């Protein structure tokens, strides 16, 4: 058994997928970066609202707005980092670089 974070993975699965440890650490980093973005983004949005003199809303609306801003920022960062991890996984499994955009036959813009 191979430890992978908090879970244990069978030796056969770990041998079949040699990049599993790197992929798991990349995903963990992506999710922690998303959590950090949520905390920092929500906190900054809340502080910025405190300095805004034009729009004075109650505390509950300020908290709601700050939470939504933090969620959007967190989703964006986590999605981007997870995409990088999935491209890493494809590279580790196939030893080929994944293409960032699908190629349409007959349409080559680099001619």
Strands 7-9 and 2-4: antiparallel
Give how far Cα 52 sits from Cα of 44, 49, 57, Å: 12, 5, 10
CB atoms within 10 A of CB 69: 18
What backbone phi and psi angles, to 5 degrees, belong to 7?
-105, 155
pLDDT by residue (tens digit) across 7-33? 666 667 666 777 778 888 898 999 999
pLDDT by residue (tens digit) across 44-78? 999 988 887 777 788 898 899 999 999 999 999 99
Name the token pair of 23: 């992929």
- pLDDT band at 1, cuts 50/70/90? very low
pLDDT, position 30: 94
- Regarding pTM above 0.75, the answer is no
Q: Domain-by-domain residue ranges, the chain?
A: 2-94
Name the token pair of 42: 């929500």
Residue 6 has pLDDT above 90, yes or no: no
């Amino acid at each position: 058994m191979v430890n992978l974070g908090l879970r244990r993975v069978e030796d056969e699965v770990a041998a079949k997928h040699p990049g599993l440890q790197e992929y798991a650490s990349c995903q963990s980093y992506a999710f922690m970066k998303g959590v950090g973005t949520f905390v920092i983004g929500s906190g900054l949005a809340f502080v910025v609202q405190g300095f805004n003199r034009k729009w004075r809303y109650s505390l509950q609306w300020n908290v709601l707005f700050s939470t939504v801003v933090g969620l959007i920022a967190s989703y964006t960062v986590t999605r981007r980092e997870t995409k990088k991890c999935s491209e890493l996984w494809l590279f580790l499994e196939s030893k080929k670089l994944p293409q960032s955009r699908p190629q349409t036959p007959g349409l080559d813009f680099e001619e």
